[in-house]
Amino acid sequence: MLLVSLLREIKDTFGRFLALLLIIALGVGFFAGLKVTDPAMRTSMHDYLKDKEFFDFRLVSTLGLEDEDINYLGNNIKARAVEPMSLS
Choose between 80 and 14: higher pLDDT.
Answer: 14
Highest mean predicted confidence (pLDDT) among 20-24, 39-43, 65-69, 82-86? 20-24
pLDDT, one tens digit per residue, over 30-77 is: 999 999 999 999 999 999 999 998 888 888 888 888 889 888 988 888
Q: What are the residues whose beta carbons fall under 8 Å from the beta carbon of 66, sequence distance 6 or more?
A: none
Neighbours of 70 (CB within 10 A): 14
Q: What are the residues whose beta carbons fall under 8 Å from the beta carbon of 74, sequence distance 6 or more?
A: 81, 82
Residue type, 62: T
